[in-house]
Amino acid sequence: MRLQPLAFRFGVILSLSGMACTSNKVVPATDTHTDHGAPSPSPAVVTASDSRGLPPDASGALARLSASPRHSEWAIIRTGDGDSLRTWVVYPERSSKAPVVVVVHEIFGLSSWIRGVADQLAADGFIAIAPDLLTMKNLPDGPDSVVAPLAQTAIRTLDPAWVQKQLDAVARYGMSLPAAQKKYGIVGFCWGGGVSFAHAVHSPGLGASVVYYGVSPKTTDLPSVRAPVLGLYGGNDARVDATIPPADSALRALGRIYVPTIYTGAGHGFLRQQTGMDGANMAATRQAWPATIAWFRKYVGS
């Protein structure tokens, strides 16, 4: 699939035909994400109708979960070598078998917001499986505000190869469910966005990857990519956006499908903080989420 020139593709909103990025490394210790989890100092006004058909933002996640009509449950997935993952599973309301989407959490761990995103994926027709990749770190239970700082420290100690092995086990579990099709995609956010791109490098059985504001893998790793990758980025996120052009060039040369879309004015973590950046985050959310669902329906199934 050929792409439009960089001047058109970067800095504007694209239709579904471009590229994306991620990282197979642990997020550097210098990446504090201090603004990512904080409320915006000057939020735009957002009404209930703005979020129809979209995931909740962080402030609305618990309300979404409590009101959801969909069946959800906790599962323990044994991943080998004595490891296990606590995992949140949400089922769509449908009579036919559904494709599976693995949801990779941010640097803040398996938060209420990530579970809310999984609920929206189920509302859109997928079995959503969100593993807690920090299960083996034995973090204390508590509200997101208490767990998030601990998760930020613990997540930097995870070995990238170990993470990919866990995701393989999660995908196998998901596809083994009686209600599941034997196809899966992956989506990740922030740290998880990098992991979701790295999974495209790692897994030949992956159907599709969606990367939300995650850094790209090394270009030397990209020849292993087989699955189509969609990347969704905020224009005010220079650290991440600087990794897009090298991945773009390398994947185009390899003839791979990689579609990066940069939303002008949106910040890092725009899907979590939908009221931030004077309305730009909500504008990005309204376009990025439908693109995500269209991508999975095209390449994983419906």
The whole-angstrom separation of Cα 243 and Cα 194 is 11
Q: Residue 293: pLDDT above 90?
A: yes
pLDDT band at 29; cut points 50, 70, 90? very low
Q: Residue 43: pLDDT above 50?
A: no
On whether residue 211 sits in a domain, the answer given is yes
On whether residue 153 sits in a domain, the answer given is yes
The answer to whether residues 83 and 68 touch, using CB atoms and an 8 Å cutoff, is no
Q: How many helices (DSSP H) and strands (DSSP E) are in the chain?
A: 9, 8
Q: What is the dihedral of CA 186, 189, 190, 192, to 10 degrees?
A: -40
On whether residue 131 sits in a domain, the answer given is yes
Domain span at 56? 6-29+49-299
Which pTM does this prediction carry?
0.86
Computed from CA positions of residues 280, 283, 288, 289, in that sequence, does the dihedral angle turn out positive or negative? positive
Report residue 90: phi and psi, to 5°: -125, 135
**Quick one: tokens of 120?**
């929206």
How many domains does the structure of the chain reveal?
1
On whether residue 16 sits in a domain, the answer given is yes
Question: CATH number, domain at 88?
Answer: 3.40.50.1820
pLDDT in tens, 200-221: 999 999 999 999 999 999 999 9
267, β-bridge pairs: 236
